[in-house]
Structure 1
Amino acid sequence: MLLIRRIMAFVFMAGAFLSISRTAEAGYAHYIYDVQSGKVLASQNAEAINHPASLTKMMTLYLTFEALRTGRLRWDDRIVMTKNAASKIPFKLGVPAGQTITVREAVYGMAIRSANDAAAAMGDHLGGSEERFGVLMTKKARQLGMRNTVFRNASGLPDNAQVTTARDMAVLALSLIRDYPREYKIFSQRSFSFRGRTIKGHNNLMYRYPGMDGIKTGFVNASGYNLASAVVVNGRRYIGVVLGGNTARQRDNRMAELLDQALPGGGLPGVAVATSGQQKRPAEGVAAFTSNAPTPRPRTEIILGGTTANAASVTPYATVPQAAPIQNVIQQGGPLWDIQIAAAGSQAAATGALNSALPLLADFGQIAPSVQGSSSGGREVFRARLTGFVDRDAAARACSVLQNRSIDCFVVR
C-alpha cells in the first residue's frame, strides 16, 4: 500500500510538472487586483512562469493553518527540527537537528522572518518528508485555482522545478486572507520573541505603506526579488504581486508605484487602515481562536482574471471553465455582508471596538476586521466593521450575539 501511495505521488508530481511545459523565465511580472469588484487593475506577464522563492512559505503556512483548524496540530505542539531542516541556509531559527520547536515558533518564524529551517521542519512533520509535502502543496494549489504552480519544497529555496506565476501568487495570498483571517494577522507583525531574543521581519514596504497588512517577501538568485502585498483602502481589499525585481528596494518601490497608480487615493495616510495591521499581541489570541475554529463551508474558489471552478470538485488536471469576470469571492450565492459595530472619532477607538467584538464571534470563522475612514460634518469618522458574512442571516446572527453582550451593531451590505 505504501508503495502504491509513493507511485501515485510521483505520477501526480510528474503530471503536474509536465503540464507546465514552459521554462521558468525568472523575468519581471506584476499583478494588482481589486478583491471586491473582481477587476484586474494592472497586469504584466502575470501568467509567465517564474520561481516563487520564499513566497512558497505562504502555502506552507496555509497547510499549517489548515492542520490547526482540523485539529491535526495545536499551537503548543512540538515538532522536531530534522536533519534536513537544520541543514537549510539562512534565514533560519538556528535550532540544532534533533531539538524541537513549537508550532507557534515555526509559524512566526516563517511568516515574519521567512525562516527556511522552520518551513522545512513543518514540511517534514506534515508530509512525512519535504518531498511528499511538496505533493500536498501542489495538490492544494490546484484546489485553490493556482493552475500554473508546482511546489517541490516547503521553503522556496532553489529548485528548478518549483514554479509559479504572479496571478497564482495573488490567488494564494487572497486564499490565506479569506480562509484564515485571524491567523493572517501574524503577517503584519514587525518582530517576534524567540527564546530570549527579538527577531525582526524584513517586509519593509508594509511598515511604511498605509493600509498594507501583509504579506510576504522572497528572493533567490533564480527568481529575483519577489513580493506579495495586501492593502485595505476605504474598506476595500487589494492584492498586489511583483516578481523578478532587481533589488529589494526597487521591488518595494515598484509595488508602491503600482498601488499608487491603481488605488483610489494611492493608499495615502488618513484614507483607511485595516485593523489587522494594528494588532500587537497575536500569539495567544490566535492560538485560542484557531484551536476551536470550525471547518469552513464549501465555497467556490477565488476568481482572478475571470475564471472559476468549484473547489470541492477540482482535480489536479481539471480544466477551469471560463466565465464572465464577477466578484472575487463567491460563497454559496451572492455578495458578502458586513456588520458595523462603531463609528468612532479615532482609529484607535474603532480598533478597540473590533478587539472587543472579535473574540465573541469565533464560531463564525470567516470574518475579518476593517476600519473605514471618512469625513462627516467637517470631522473624520472611523467606522469599525466585521466583513465577510456569507448572507444577511449570518450577519444578523452575529449581530445578535454582540447585542446580547451589550455591543450595538447593525447589518450592512
Structure 2
Amino acid sequence: MFFRKILYALTIIIYSVSVAYPMSKGDSIDKYAAIVMDANTGRTLYQKNSNAKRYPASLTKMMTLYMFFEALQTGRIFRNTLIPISAYAASRPPTRLGFNPGQTIAAETAAKALIAKSANDVAAAIGEYLGGSEKNFARMMTKKARRLGMMNTNFINASGLPDPQNYSTARDIAILSLALRKHFPHQYRLFNTTQFKFHNKIIAGHNKLIKSMDGVDGIKTGYTRMSGFNLASSRRQGEKSIVAVVMGGKSAFSRDAHMAALLEHYMVQASDVKTLVASRMPAFGKVEHMPIPIPVAKAPLLLTEEIVAIPLAKNMISDHEHDSALLTALTSERAVPSAAADAINEIIIKNPPIPTYKAKNSVHSAIMPSIEMVPIFVENEKKRWVIQIASLPTQSEADRILDKASGSVRAVLANAESYTQYFKQGEAHYYRARFSGFPSKQAAWNACSQLKKVRFSCYALKE
C-alpha cells in the first residue's frame, strides 16, 4: 500500500510539471476527447469533444465483454465453458495469446484475457462463439449499443483492430462503462484483474491505475496508431462514484497521468447521494460535428393502435431494466470544462475551453420530469422520422418485439436502427420500441403500412 501511494503521488507530481511544457504540434490534438460522469447522478462533470467521432481501439472489447457477461447471466455459457479457437481467430494480429487452431479457452479465462491482455484472438473467438461469425457479432454489438443509448457508435469487429467503420465517442464509452458496472456487478469485478495465469505463466495487465490509485476498480485500456492511447476508468470513494474516459493520449504515461488528474479533481465534485438527473439540453457555445439523435424520456402518446403497457409494481422492475433510465439521462446532459480544469486539458490538447453550463431541472428519480427525444444540436440539421411499434413494461419485451418486427419485414427495415426509449409515468415504467433512420414521413408511413399488414401496431413521428 505504501509503494502504491508513492507511485500515485509521483504520477500526479510529474503530471503537474508536464503541464508547463506544451506538446509538440500534431501530437494527438485531433484525436483527444474526454468525459467525467458522476455515476450517482448521471451529471457530466467535465467534457471535451465528448460527442466527437473517435476510434475506441481495445475499448471495443468492453462491448464484447458486455455481450459475454449477458450470455453468462442468461445461462448460454458458463464459467468453465470451453470456447474454440478457429483458424480465423488464431490469425488475428497482436496483442494475442498465441493459440493454434482447434485449441480452446475457458470462458472465465477468456474474459480475463480480454481485460488484462486485450487479446485479439480471444475477442474474435468469443465473437464467433456468440455470433456465429465475428461480422455478425459486430452487428449484434452495434444493436446492443443503440439499446443502451450509445447513439454515435458503430462496431465492425470484436477486438477494436483498426477499421474506419469501428468508431465511438467518449460519452458513449462512459455510458457503456456505467452499464457494465450496473448490469453485471458480479462479473464487473473481473475488470479489477491486473494479472492472470495462463498455461502456467503469469500474464500482467496494462491498466496501471488499478494498482497506483486508490479507489480505481477498472475498466479498460486501448491503443492503436489510429486512435492514440485510450482509457476508461471507474473510481469509488465512500459513497461517491465516477467514471471517466480519455481518448487520443500521446503516450500511455501521459494518458494515465491525465486520467489520474481528472479522477482526483472531479471526485471532489461528485455527489454522495444517488439521484437520477434528467435535463433538457442547454444551448452551448460550440457545435460538435456528429448529428446523432439522443434518447431522453417523455409521457407516452396514447394512440388507439399502440400496445398499452399494464403498470407494474416498482419491485417487479429489475435493476437491469430500471438502470436504462440512468443511461438515457446520461445521454441528455452536457457539461464542459471549467476554468479550473483548463490546466488538466493541456497535457493532451491546447484548444481553448468552450463555455460552462450547469444542468437545469436536476431532481431525484422519484420526481423525475418527463423526457423526450432530443437531437444533439447541429445548425440547420433536419429532423428524421422514426416509427414506434409498442410501449412495453420491460426492456426484454421491447427487445423481443423489435427482433420480431425486424424478422417480419426485413426489406423495409434493412436500413433502420432499432432502439428502446425508457420513460416513467407515475410508478409505472415503460420502454418504447422504435426504429429510426427514415428520411421522410412517406418512408416512415410506408414502413408502418408493411408492419400493419403483419399485425404490428405502428405510427410515425419526427425525432
Fold in common (TM above 0.5): yes
Structure 1's unaligned 5+ residue stretches are: 1-24, 272-293, 334-413
Equivalent residue for 1:398? none
Q: Distance in 2 between matches of 1:254 and 1:332?
A: 42
Alpha-carbon deviation of 1:30? 0.3
Alpha-carbon deviation of 1:39? 1.3
Equivalent residue for 1:111? 115
> In structure 2, do the counterparts of structure 1 residues 131 and 26 end up closer, same or farther at CA, with 3 Å as the change threshold?
farther
Partner secondary structure for residue 118 of structure 1: helix
The answer to whether the 8 Å contact 1:26/1:223 transfers is: no
Q: Distance in 1 between matches of 2:255 and 2:68?
A: 28
Equivalent residue for 2:36? 32
Q: What pairs with 1:56-135 in structure 2 (closer than 5 Å)? A: 56-135=60-139
The answer to whether the 8 Å contact 2:33/2:52 transfers is: yes
Q: What pairs with 1:41-52 in structure 2 (closer than 5 Å)? A: 41-52=45-56
Alpha-carbon deviation of 1:297? 5.2
Query: Is residue 321 of structure 2 the alignment partner of residue 298 of structure 1?
Result: yes
Partner secondary structure for residue 166 of structure 2: coil
Offset from partner CA, 1:285-340 (integer Å, 9 cap, x none): xxxxxxxxx986533341314367885547763688899xx9xxxx977xxxxxxx
Which among 220, 244, 247 is matched to residue 243 of structure 1?
Answer: 247
Equivalent residue for 1:233? 237
Equivalent residue for 1:317? 417
Q: What pairs with 1:169-180 in structure 2 (closer than 5 Å)? A: 169-180=173-184
Query: Is residue 353 of structure 2 the alignment partner of residue 253 of structure 1?
Result: no
Structure 2's unaligned 5+ residue stretches are: 1-28, 273-316, 334-370, 374-393, 403-415, 430-463
Q: Distance in 2 between matches of 1:124 and 1:322?
A: 31
Q: Distance in 1 between matches of 2:198 and 2:49?
A: 39
Q: Distance in 1 between matches of 2:320 and 2:180?
A: 15
More helix by share: 1
Comparing 143-152 with 295-304, which one deviates more in the overlay?
295-304
Q: Distance in 2 between matches of 1:159 and 1:197?
A: 32
Q: Distance in 2 between matches of 1:320 and 1:79?
A: 31
Equivalent residue for 1:155? 159
Give the aligned length: 277
> In structure 2, do the counterparts of structure 1 residues 211 and 196 end up closer, same or farther at CA, with 3 Å as the change threshold?
same
Comparing 309-318 with 57-66, which one deviates more in the overlay?
309-318
Offset from partner CA, 1:144-173 (integer Å, 9 cap, x none): 010000001001111110010000000101
Q: Distance in 2 between matches of 1:96 and 1:63?
A: 25
The answer to whether the 8 Å contact 1:70/1:295 transfers is: no
Q: Distance in 1 between matches of 2:73 and 2:318?
A: 7
Partner secondary structure for residue 77 of structure 2: coil
Partner secondary structure for residue 298 of structure 1: helix
Offset from partner CA, 1:186-207 (integer Å, 9 cap, x none): 1112111112111110101221
Q: Distance in 1 between matches of 2:171 and 2:69?
A: 22
Offset from partner CA, 1:92-137 (integer Å, 9 cap, x none): 1111111111112211100111111111100011111100000000
The ranges of structure 1 where at least 4 consecutive aligned residues each deviate by more than 2 angstroms after the TM superposition are 294-301, 305-323
Alpha-carbon deviation of 1:234? 2.1
Aligned-residue Cα RMSD (Å) equals 2.8
Task: Kindly name which structure, 1 or 2, has the bigger radius of gyration based on alpha carbons.
Answer: 2
Q: Distance in 1 between matches of 2:66 and 2:146?
A: 14
Q: Distance in 2 between matches of 1:321 and 1:102?
A: 36
Q: What pairs with 1:326-341 in structure 2 (closer than 5 Å)? A: none
